């Protein structure tokens, strides 16, 4: 299966890690549909990418809503062809003492971070099964490996995503579909900088860099490059794996 010309969906692809992943796939000739809830940002980024010659479409989608997901996937098929690459990146963060977490907050974090990948994967799976080729990359979090205080809902949702990855890899391998997960470490994105400014991370980026063997924080392109490799035909013998892109902090 040629990597170029294949259709991909990137959820949460209008900013941060998702945008870097979208750019990396599009630069390799992949047609990309971005699913994102940020309408204005989505419109601007799609216009920019299309202006530089990339084949990109944008759909305003809440990935936790099955009807919205189904409709957007069907439209993507019509516009760009069968979906054979899925990067589930959309997510919401949470910072609260455990006893302060409400049912509504817990359910929203689970809805976006875990139900979202479940819904989008179900929607695109028929295309991959028909082609007997598919690539699914779930963006989890290194916090799900080591834990993180005041983030119990988020950590639980991302740990669930790792479990979903491993289960699907076993189930779908015979159909030529690989499923892997990347748990990013400390990666500089607008969201991370915003949380640091709010005091949700009490240490600076320089502090985290000093704790990292490669002595720097991650960049969005670090995650994007690893994702692009996992979507390539060259990665066909890699499935069910946790590919840590974290500068060596968690090995």
**Residues labelled as active-site residues:** 154
Q: CA-CA distance, 164 to 138, in Å (whole number)?
A: 9
Q: How far apart are the first and last CA of the chain?
A: 32
Residues whose CB is less than 8 angstroms from the CB of residue 18 and which lie 6 or more positions away in sequence, other chains included: 10, 11, 12, 34, 36, 87, 89, 90, 139
Closest CA to 30 of 8, 58, 57: 8
- Contact call for residues 77 and 59 (beta carbons, < 8 A): no
Q: How far is CA 81 from CA 29, 47, 70, in A?
A: 14, 20, 15
Chain-centroid distance of CA 225 in Å reads 13
Q: Which residue, among 59, 48, 42, has the nearest Cα to 26 in the 3D structure? A: 48
Q: Do residues 86 and 30 make contact, with C-beta atoms less than 8 angstroms apart?
A: no
- Residue 197 is encoded by which pair of tokens? 């400014």
210 C-beta neighbours (distance < 10 Å), count: 11
């Amino acid at each position: 299966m040629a990597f170029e010309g294949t259709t991909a969906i990137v959820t949460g692809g209008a900013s941060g890690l998702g945008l870097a992943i979208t750019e990396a796939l599009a630069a390799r000739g992949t047609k990309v549909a971005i699913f994102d809830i940020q309408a204005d940002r989505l419109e601007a980024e799609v216009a920019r990418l299309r202006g530089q010659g990339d084949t990109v479409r944008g759909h305003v989608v809440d990935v936790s809503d099955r009807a919205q997901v189904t409709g957007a996937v069907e439209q993507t098929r019509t516009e760009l062809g069968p979906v054979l690459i899925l990067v589930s990146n959309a997510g919401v963060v949470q910072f609260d003492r455990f006893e302060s977490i409400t049912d509504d907050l817990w359910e929203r974090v689970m809805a976006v971070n875990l139900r979202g990948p479940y819904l989008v994967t179900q929607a695109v799976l028929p295309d991959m099964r028909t082609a007997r080729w598919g690539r699914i990359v779930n963006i989890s979090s290194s916090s799900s490996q080591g834990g993180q205080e005041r983030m119990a809902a988020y950590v639980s949702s991302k740990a669930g995503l790792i479990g979903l990855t491993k289960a699907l890899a076993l189930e779908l391998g015979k159909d030529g579909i690989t499923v892997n997960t990347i748990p990013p470490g400390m990666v500089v994105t607008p969201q991370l900088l915003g949380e640091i400014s709010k005091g949700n991370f009490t240490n600076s980026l320089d502090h985290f860099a000093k704790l990292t063997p490669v002595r720097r924080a991650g960049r969005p392109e670090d995650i994007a490059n690893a994702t692009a490799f996992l979507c390539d035909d060259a990665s066909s013998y890699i499935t069910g794996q946790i590919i840590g892109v974290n500068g060596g902090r968690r090995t």
